Amino acid sequence: MTSLRVAVDIGGTFTDICILDEATGLIRVAKTATTPDPIDGFLAGLEQGDVDLRDVALLSHGTTVATNALITRRLPRGAMVTTEGFRDVIEIRRANKEDLWDTYKDVARPYLPRRDRLTVKERVDAAGRIVTPLDEAGAREVARILRKRNVAAVAVCFMNAFTNGANEARMKRILEEELPGVTITTSSEVLPEIFEHERFSTTVVNAILAPVVGSYCERLADRLREGGYARDLLLLHSGGGVMTTKGARHFAARLAGSGIAAGAIASRYIASQCGFPNSIGLDMGGTSCDVSLAWDGKSRVTKDWHIEFGYPIRFPSIEVLTIGAGGGSLAWIDEGGSLRNGPQSAGANPGPACYGRGNTVPTNSDANVVLGRLGKGLAGGAIQLDAQKAEDAVRTGVAEKLGMRLHEAAEAIVRVANANMADAVRLISISRGYDPRDFALVAFGGAGALHGFALARELSIPVVIVPPNPGVTSALGCLLVDVQHDLSESYIQSAASADPAAIESRFAALETEAWERMRHEGVADDQVVMERTVDMMYQGQCRSLAVPVGSPVGPLDGVVAAFHGLHQREYNFRRDGAPVDLYRLNLRAVGVVPKAALAEHPAGGTLPAPRERRPVWFDAPAPFDTPVYWRPDLPAGVGFSGPAIVEQLDSTTVVPPGAHAEVDRYLNIVMRMEG
């Protein structure tokens, strides 16, 4: 009987395994080191979790393979073919800077050097008319050059191909004839939208990642098949859905940001399970902190994202704000004598000073050790913590330089880290028109539960939820997703003059393509749901908002009214009399994957005796005598007030004075302010 659902989330340091038994709803987890070849760590994690692949009904996977390939530039040789005169579009970019005030900081070099960006004669005007047919002799000469250079992937990016992709399609056929076995990607297939830089950049990234992702998927599928797994491997993509390996080969760029999306999905699900449709996810690990937001049960989605600044990937992605704040973030004094925290990190090796591996610069983990919030070990004792080395680092790195006592310095380090994370939460909530007081905070990752309540108190967030396995919550997110494809098409027209019948015809064409993709993925027709939105903006604006639209498309008055309301919430103003433009048609095709229910635990039992008591500092002149509980000992329904520390294999939860914690029926720890 195949009764297991398994999720594997590969991060830069650890590979997390989440195993759900469909029959009981119970979850067990495993954690292993990520290996140079991530497939080895993947299989080692399955072995550690005692998973027999013959018993697995569904295997879902979040991976950093695509992200790491872009960051490290370990990419196959690729090329770009574009319209004569436009080979430098992806290098000119938007002529903007990541840091507006740093004129000396250069943007990273393009993924394709200029010599591998070749041109041909062709021309399509803005209305989609072919002004100059493709120069086929020139196209075959380009193919000859690329064959000589032994490229593995080619991106075909012609001007105005978003209105008519005929010339691109012909160029693709010629390249396929001349370059057998080479991946050919066209912009009109990948992203048929206006704005050539964004379209070219997305197509280039998709093309050069296709061989990387294709090879990885093929090798992993072979290894899984050898182990007895006979079903499709589902790969999590940045939009919050999954693709089969077939889909991933065609839309490889969607796997960039895969792992980050998993945490956002899991936090949204956990909050909804606890009765909170509005939630903020705080995923704090060893190096970084990822902040996400869900409103009314849906995650915010953006198309403005990148792995490296200047090279956008315009596929829809769950909006996640990442900052350099983690357990290993370094505390340091700047030239003005102010205490700073991150973004530099001690990483996994040497790690914080308390790891005893040679680092002497204080980190957030060292500060928490000094304050007594972390005990003598992590990961069930696999990592022993040296309190003396932590104290030495905090004393020499901060306390002596600022004239503070040891515990004051440690508290200051934690406060600065919390302030950085609070700013990130404000950016993704208040600056988007959302009030944090209307949300629950889901704190997870290895360090999220250490800082969650203090952060919530600073932002007046009323509830903090700590999942049962905070350190592997992202892996759980991989089990909670559906097959999903996002399609779009530019449609620039005034809302006042737009023809609903013409819009319906465009949506029908997108749905036809979506059905083809879903059937290619093996999704049954009765499991497919289509969601339509129209991107709209006030006339003269350059930023748009996605507004849901019905099927079939009727009069647009209601859609325009909805846009005004959405603009009011997003930007705190509206202009009801101003003309509104349509900008883009979007279709999300969702193939619903059946999901097993998590086990519920009956309330009962009493608060167990603490495993130990130790002095813990909580912003007071003296430490509190604090009980330390082992989380697996806490039954559903039990409640207790802070101060308290809850330890477990993959994380530590801090319940400070003034907080009340309760274990719910899903074994989440739910914390609120007393009174």
pLDDT of residue 380: 63
Count of Cβ atoms closer than 10 Å to residue 273 Cβ: 17
Q: How confident is the model at residue 599 (pLDDT cuts 50, 70, 90)?
A: confident
Query: Taking Cα atoms as reference points, which of 248, 230, 218, 244 lies closest to residue 522?
Result: 244
pLDDT of residue 12: 66
Mean pLDDT on 393-421: 95
Whole-angstrom Cα distance, residue 459 to residue 491?
A: 40
Whole-angstrom Cα distance, residue 476 to residue 19?
A: 8
Q: Contact 255/237 with Cβ under 8 angstroms?
A: yes
Query: Taking Cα atoms as reference points, which of 498, 490, 582 lies closest to residue 538?
Result: 582
Question: Residue 487 is encoded by which pair of tokens?
Answer: 């399609």
pLDDT of residue 649: 83
Question: Residue 648 is encoded by which pair of tokens?
Answer: 């477990």
**Backbone region of residue 54 per phi and psi (left: phi > 0; alpha: psi in -120 to 50; beta: other values):** alpha
Query: Taking Cα atoms as reference points, which of 152, 155, 174, 148 lies closest to residue 117?
Result: 155
Q: Of the ranges 527-531, 567-571, 610-614, which one carries the lowest mean pLDDT score?
A: 567-571
Q: How confident is the model at residue 156 (pLDDT cuts 50, 70, 90)?
A: very high
Alpha helix positions (H), 20-135: 38-48, 65-72, 89-92
Mean pLDDT on 586-615: 87
pLDDT of residue 146: 96
pLDDT of residue 33: 76
The residue type found at 79 is: A
Phi first, then psi, for residue 139 (nearest 5°) are: -65, -40
Mean pLDDT on 367-377: 91
Domains parsed from the chain with CATH numbers: 4-69+214-255 (3.30.420.40), 76-199 (3.40.50), 486-591 (no CATH), 612-673 (no CATH)
pLDDT of residue 301: 85
Query: Taking Cα atoms as reference points, which of 113, 111, 75, 6 lies closest to residue 215?
Result: 75
Query: Taking Cα atoms as reference points, which of 635, 608, 589, 565 lies closest to residue 242?
Result: 589
Q: How confident is the model at residue 2 (pLDDT cuts 50, 70, 90)?
A: low
Mean pLDDT on 11-17: 77
Contacts of 458 (CB under 8 A, 6+ apart): 418, 419, 422
Higher-confidence residue of 485 and 593: namely 485
Alpha helix positions (H), 522-659: 557-571
pLDDT of residue 615: 96
Q: Which residues are registered as beta bridge partners of 298?
A: 295
pLDDT at 291 over 70: yes
Question: Residue 79 is encoded by which pair of tokens?
Answer: 């090329």
Q: Contact 424/264 with Cβ under 8 angstroms?
A: no
pLDDT of residue 321: 87
Query: Taking Cα atoms as reference points, which of 391, 358, 364, 382 lies closest to residue 445?
Result: 364
pLDDT of residue 382: 65
Q: What is the pLDDT of residues 455-473, one digit of tens each?
A: 999 999 999 999 998 988 8
Q: Contact 592/18 with Cβ under 8 angstroms?
A: no
Question: Residue 260 is encoded by which pair of tokens?
Answer: 């980050």
Taking CA atoms, 108 is separated from 90, 98, 212, in Å, by: 12, 11, 21
Taking CA atoms, 465 is separated from 260, 268, 447, 599, in Å, by: 19, 11, 14, 17
Q: How confident is the model at residue 597 (pLDDT cuts 50, 70, 90)?
A: confident
> Whole-model pTM?
0.84
Mean pLDDT on 544-555: 90
Query: Taking Cα atoms as reference points, which of 456, 437, 205, 183 lies closest to residue 314?
Result: 205
Q: Which residues are registered as beta bridge partners of 486?
A: 588
Mean pLDDT on 121-135: 94
Question: Residue 376 is encoded by which pair of tokens?
Answer: 């003598």
% the chain with pLDDT above 90: 57
pLDDT at 485 over 90: no
Query: Taking Cα atoms as reference points, which of 669, 666, 664 lies closest to residue 600?
Result: 666
Whole-angstrom Cα distance, residue 643 to residue 453?
A: 12
pLDDT at 503 over 60: yes
Q: What is the pLDDT of residues 103-118, one digit of tens each?
A: 888 888 999 999 999 9
Q: How confident is the model at residue 675 (pLDDT cuts 50, 70, 90)?
A: low
Residue 292 DSSP class? E
Q: How confident is the model at residue 379 (pLDDT cuts 50, 70, 90)?
A: low
pLDDT at 14 over 90: no
pLDDT at 1 over 60: no
